[in-house]
Structure 1
Amino acid sequence: MAVKHDLTAAGGPLAAFAAMGLFWGGFAALVPAIKARAGLGDEAFGMAMLVSTCGAVLAMWAAPRAEARLGRAALPVLSLLMVSTFLLPGLSRGWWSFALAMTAAGAAAGLLDVVMNAQVAALEAARRRPLMNLAHGTYSMVYAAAAILTGLAREAGAAPQPVFTGLAAAALGCVALTLAAPRVQHPDAGSGTATRLPGALVTAAGLVVLIGFLTEQAAEGWSALHLERNLGAGAAAGAIGPALLGATMGAGRLFGQGLARRVAPTGLLCGGALVAAAGGLLAAFAPTLMLAYAGFAALGLGASLLVPMGFAFVAARVTPEARAAAIARLSMIGYLGFFLGPPMMGVVSGAVGLAAAFAAVALVLCLVPLALVPWMRRSARAPA
């Protein structure tokens, strides 16, 4: 019954999370086809994704003001913008075309990402219940379904653009759900008052979110390629990689919804990062397809808590007036990982292979328990 109330209360943001999951899930399963269509190697693909970071980060900086200006229409308008821009990558041919398409898609996704996370954080504060894991779990479960269906479509011979068009049609249903959602009010929305943010806390948590996004995008964007290239998987079997990541991330976040009431956020962050690191190493060096699947499942399960718990940790420790600005700043730092993951994977893969690239992700994950969580604890105790 409590979950039903949570779903009803957060219906608008959850629909936006679902719309984003549709496209990133489809995109992950289409990466081999998109790379081939655009004529890009690993490094060129990674660098094109890096270029798109600029659009995403600039959009995030403007997101709180865009939400204040659009008011109740923020979620449906920004969701519709994201749907329209994600039709572009399937049309891309060549490096510049793909880079520009992903810049537009990244900017639209960045705007929506800040607004929907800020609205979930405000709902958490108003209802005094954890909702961030539920929201990100919704994204992950939809992501997994989209990846599986996209893999089956590829196996049947579908090209990227028809697949993106089908995903857009499904996402329009999510946009319609956001239309009925009431506006979530932020105390500082449109006030124009400078609000002091706890810089060290936001930076430390932002780096945790960055590593979470980096892990997700590195694995989601390259897992199918790793399975197809190094273990001989077909298109459908290769799509199981990103689908497993999405499914285990969704399960971990929904399970974490209950755990968050009983276990300290920093404990969940440390445990999740270590499980994800172990899974990344197994996926990297697995000699068989089934062991690689197990590695990706562990990677998704462990990494599932990093992003939502990073947002929730900060949202619970700033004033209501600072919450929207803190989420925007946190997203700007963290979202860099969303696009730094593929370039990092491309550079390392081009130099020493995809297995070493996944091992590098595992090493980066170890920074969470060794350095970043202790920094978060110290920052949270420091006087404002």
Structure 2
Amino acid sequence: MPRDFRPAPATRPPGTTMTDQLTRPQLLAWRNAIFVVFALSGISVASWVARIPAVRDSLGLDTAQLGILIFAMSAGSVIGLVSAPPVMLRLGARGGMVLSLVVVSAGLVIVGLGGGLVLSAPLVGVGLALVGLGNGAVDVMMNVEGAAAEKAIGKTLMPLMHAFFSFGTVAGAGLGALASWLSVNVALHLAVVAAIIVAGVLVAIRAVPRGVEDESGAAASKPPFRERLRASLAVWGDLRLLAIGVVMLGMAFAEGSANDWLTLAVVDGHDQSNTTGAVIFALFTVSMTAGRVLGGPVLDRFGRVPVLRVSALLGALGIALFIFAPVTWLAWVGCVFWAVGCSLGFPVGMSAAADTGDPRQAAARVSAVAIIGYVAFLVGPPVLGLLGHEVGILNALLVILVLVVLAGIAAPAVRERDGRSGSGSDTLGPGQGGDRSASGATL
């Protein structure tokens, strides 16, 4: 990673912004640093999930008691989402992301102590609350900072950034499986992961420019707390933002519910083996990651609205195929369509929410739609569970189908702020020319 940097305002030509002064290597380093932050967040979540059975067994918990502990993490996540905007205003994105991931790391250490050494369920609950708090906060911050890097570079990057979260979960799950296979104590395993996260963010953060969120002069004239709170709440009155929230709700519901119920739907709904259920779930995760890796260029070529409409159509078709497939191979095809169809909804919603003329509003807007998305992640699985108990799990999945259709209808809300429907050849990518600043940085 390059040395810590911040362009000198004194050398900035009139009419340019701080990011206009960044050279091509600095912009790419900034992008890569956000990739790392996304991956570290994914590692932290997957590391805990991988050791849930070990913690459950060591504490002798039943399913209900384990559910209460997991709820502590969910509650912490919501608090983190709400607290992110004021923390960013106070510390900036750089300081806020470091603080958030340090809180996550502290939470992992406490979870390890409670689940591997002290054997205390309340201590594990405290640790999970901290993990949720830190990850909820960093989720907003890394998306705001990612949107800023995306705008400065001039290419759609948010789907790829979310793919790095998926890469992080794969790495975390792999390390967790290895630790479990080697019978490594949960406390030692999570302490090592915590150290990796802290070291990783401290190295990566040096490539993130300071004060990007203050381009409009927010730092020079910080309003009183009451005005900041009023401004944060005011975004909920923005109808376009609420429509973006509908997109987030449908797509996040589709993604989160698949994580919890896809395997069971394969086994109970389609009468397949547990192994087949696991294989189809792996196919879903690979397809979603691939959709995010490949989604950026497609979005740049055709624009957010057309791509999201096609995504919603593809997702709805996939869910319908999965529910009504008369033969197993059609359910497999439906699983792929379902995953690819909902892969871009969350990252595109984040980009659209942060796409505002006033950088001071970006954190509040991203926080608002993130809360909607997280509510879908948290509420969706239990709702489907209750419905599935009454009407069968495959019939319960019809709720997802309806919400994905609604997300497609609300797709115009994510249109680029300049009104373009697709960047096509007008978007300048790395090495495509275009004098961005007096420093001669080209992208």
Q: Which residue does 2:273 correspond to in 1?
A: 232
**Alignment partners' CA distance in 2, 1:361 and 1:213:** 10
Deviates more, 1:297-306 or 1:28-37: 28-37
Deviates more, 1:133-142 or 1:191-200: 191-200
Tell me by how many angstroms 1:375 deviates. 5.7
> Which residue identity lines up with residue 373 of structure 1 in the other structure?
A
**Alignment partners' CA distance in 2, 1:45 and 1:123:** 39
Q: Which residue does 2:168 correspond to in 1?
A: 142
Q: Which residue does 1:354 correspond to in 2?
A: 393
Tell me by how many angstroms 1:147 deviates. 4.7
Tell me by how many angstroms 1:258 deviates. 0.6
Tell me by how many angstroms 1:291 deviates. 5.2
Tell me by how many angstroms 1:127 deviates. 3.0
Q: Which residue does 1:39 correspond to in 2?
A: 62
**Alignment partners' CA distance in 1, 2:76 and 2:107:** 12
**Structure-2 change in CA distance of 1:18 and 1:322 (3 Å):** same
Match of 1:119 among 126, 130, 145: 145
Tell me by how many angstroms 1:78 deviates. 1.2
| 1:249 maps to 2:288 | yes
**Structure-2 change in CA distance of 1:15 and 1:262 (3 Å):** same
**Structure-2 change in CA distance of 1:161 and 1:351 (3 Å):** farther
**Structure-2 change in CA distance of 1:240 and 1:162 (3 Å):** farther
1:87-106 alignment, distance < 5 Å: 88=111, 91=115, 102-106=128-132
Tell me by how many angstroms 1:270 deviates. 1.6
**Structure-2 change in CA distance of 1:220 and 1:150 (3 Å):** farther
> Which residue identity lines up with residue 101 of structure 2 in the other structure?
S
| 1:17 maps to 2:43 | no
Q: Which residue does 2:352 correspond to in 1?
A: 313
Q: State the Cα deviation string for residues 246-293 of structure 1 (Å, max 9, x = none).
A: 322222122111112121211122211222223234444557776554
Tell me by how many angstroms 1:305 deviates. 0.8
Q: Which residue does 1:175 correspond to in 2?
A: 201
TM-score of the two chains, using structure 2 as the length reference? 0.69
Match of 2:98 among 76, 85, 107: 76
**Alignment partners' CA distance in 2, 1:356 and 1:28:** 28
Match of 2:134 among 108, 131, 139: 108
Tell me by how many angstroms 1:240 deviates. 4.0
**Structure-2 change in CA distance of 1:162 and 1:244 (3 Å):** farther
Taking only aligned residues, the RMSD between alpha carbons, in angstroms, comes to 4.0
Contact 1:33 1:160 in 2 (8 A): no
**Structure-2 change in CA distance of 1:153 and 1:222 (3 Å):** farther
Q: State the Cα deviation string for residues 7-29 of structure 1 (Å, max 9, x = none).
A: 52212221111012224445667
**Alignment partners' CA distance in 2, 1:298 and 1:102:** 34
Contact 1:64 1:328 in 2 (8 A): yes
**Alignment partners' CA distance in 2, 1:294 and 1:181:** 41
Q: State the Cα deviation string for residues 313-368 of structure 1 (Å, max 9, x = none).
A: 23224433322222222222322122122222332233334333333322221111
Q: State the Cα deviation string for residues 25-52 of structure 1 (Å, max 9, x = none).
A: 45667778888874226xx877876675
Contact 2:322 2:335 in 1 (8 A): yes
Contact 2:29 2:207 in 1 (8 A): no
Q: Which residue does 1:133 correspond to in 2?
A: 159
> Which residue identity lines up with residue 91 of structure 1 in the other structure?
G
Tell me by how many angstroms 1:64 deviates. 1.9
Q: Which residue does 2:78 correspond to in 1?
A: 57
Q: Which residue does 1:373 correspond to in 2?
A: 411
**Which structure ranks higher in relative contact order (CA pairs < 8 Å, sequence separation ≥ 6)?**
1
**Structure-2 change in CA distance of 1:213 and 1:239 (3 Å):** same
Q: How many residues are paired up?
A: 372
> Which residue identity lines up with residue 404 of structure 2 in the other structure?
L
Deviates more, 1:343-352 or 1:286-295: 286-295
Structure 1 residues not aligned, in runs of 5+: none
Q: Which residue does 1:66 correspond to in 2?
A: 87
SS, match of residue 302 in structure 2? coil
**Alignment partners' CA distance in 2, 1:30 and 1:270:** 38
**Structure-2 change in CA distance of 1:177 and 1:227 (3 Å):** farther
**Alignment partners' CA distance in 2, 1:293 and 1:149:** 28
Contact 1:144 1:247 in 2 (8 A): no
Contact 2:308 2:345 in 1 (8 A): yes
SS, match of residue 362 in structure 1? helix
**Structure-2 change in CA distance of 1:177 and 1:292 (3 Å):** farther
> Which residue identity lines up with residue 81 of structure 2 in the other structure?
M
Contact 2:261 2:381 in 1 (8 A): yes
SS, match of residue 261 in structure 1? helix
**Alignment partners' CA distance in 2, 1:228 and 1:29:** 22
**Alignment partners' CA distance in 1, 2:319 and 2:52:** 20
SS, match of residue 300 in structure 2? coil
**Structure-2 change in CA distance of 1:333 and 1:259 (3 Å):** same
Contact 1:55 1:104 in 2 (8 A): yes
Tell me by how many angstroms 1:308 deviates. 1.1
Q: Which residue does 2:440 correspond to in 1?
A: none
| 1:258 maps to 2:258 | no
Tell me by how many angstroms 1:307 deviates. 0.9
**Structure-2 change in CA distance of 1:52 and 1:308 (3 Å):** same
**Structure-2 change in CA distance of 1:223 and 1:39 (3 Å):** farther
Identity, % of aligned pairs? Answer: 26
SS, match of residue 207 in structure 2? coil
Contact 1:205 1:314 in 2 (8 A): yes
> Which residue identity lines up with residue 39 of structure 1 in the other structure?
D
